[in-house]
Amino acid sequence: MSDKPPVSQQSLRYDATQDSVWIIDQTQLPHVLVERELKTLADACEAIEAMWVRGAPLIGVTAAFGLYLGLRSGAVTTPEVNAAVQRLAQTRPTAVNLQWALDRLSSILIPVDVAQRPARALSAALELHAEDVAACAALGEHGAVRLENLWHTKCAQAEERGESAPSQLNVLTHCNAGALATVDWGTALAVVYKACERGVPVHVWVDETRPRNQGASLTCWELGERGVPHTLIVDNAGGHLMQHGLVDCCVVGSDRTTREGDVCNKIGTYLKALAAFDNKIPFYVALPVSTIDFELADGLREIPIEERSAYEVTHISGLGDDGTVRRVRLTPAGTAVSNFGFDVTPARLVTGLITEHGVIEANAPALANLQARLSQA
């Protein structure tokens, strides 16, 4: 890792002096870093739906602040609170953190006097904001221990074979599970950042992540800003790299994980897990416990999979030689398109779930034990 300082800009920040909520507009990256102010509930809904913000943890925190923005004008009745919650809940169907955050704020706001609701909503949103940062930092530390152990094992195996010491630990990731997917640190990339702090020479293979190219535009931007060595690859190259011994482990994020360990993440994650399983490569999923849906058991049958606009597939945007961002068509006009946003990786393909409470196995007993620990905390 280079001496270049990490990005201090959080994906969402609250300015107490101005009572204002600001987000990074991720649709403008990597070409320009733009902040937008969210002033109303409608602004927060648009930010989530238009993917100015994305990533399960960040969506949840944004929804919490969106609810505050919808209440801060004054005393708000219970039906009005419920209507605001319902509007926010409709913005994205797959990421469980959204409903988790809304349920938490509802349980806080409904019992209190209407005059107290704006202040309580802000307090609760700020709590979620701080908790997200702390959770991601903690899970990053737990995951970094796994990467450090893998690195020491790789070095020892090379020595046993009489080979020169390896130069790096190769980690493959899919989509963007970095600071841009959370308030700060990230999930999968928090593991990378914390491993780098421990002196592990991590190199990241970055899937482009079609069709929105979050790997190419967001993950590469983040890693570059933090000075972490990385290489962009096309989505279908991961299996080839694994077959040739060029991947030491995979670390991805999650939008929803069931109580039996099935993991829903960006479309294409399942194929990486299959390739990793076939090549005996560890496949880790990094997630705060707010991303675990203890109400669901079977990910394939119970998790709603978002289908997005065909426009994301038929068109692509990029920076032209003249310095302007333009969008161009890739396909013949009228081409039929299927655009599922997520897929489900069965628990049997997951080596471990990296949480802020430690690394656990992806199975029902381990998750039941975690749930019991959480209920006692």
Query: Catalytic site residues?
Result: 255
The angle that helices 78-89 and 96-109 make with each other, rounded to 10 degrees, is: 170
Q: Taking a C-beta distance cutoff of 8 angstroms, is the pair 212, 251 a contact?
A: no
Q: Taking a C-beta distance cutoff of 8 angstroms, is the pair 72, 123 a contact?
A: no
What Cα–Cα distance (Å) separates residue 304 from each residue in 93, 147, 255?
7, 32, 11
What Cα–Cα distance (Å) separates residue 157 from each residue in 109, 160, 166, 170, 202?
56, 5, 10, 15, 17
| CB neighbour list of residue 295: distance below 8 Å, 6 or more residues apart | 259
- CA-nearest of 175, 150, 339, 366 to 253 is 175
Rounded CA separation 216/79 (Å) = 43
- CA-nearest of 219, 312, 296, 305 to 266 is 305
How many residues make up the chain in this entry?
A: 377
Q: Taking a C-beta distance cutoff of 8 angstroms, is the pair 207, 233 a contact?
A: yes
Q: Taking a C-beta distance cutoff of 8 angstroms, is the pair 272, 174 a contact?
A: yes
| CB neighbour list of residue 338: distance below 8 Å, 6 or more residues apart | 307
Rounded CA separation 317/362 (Å) = 37
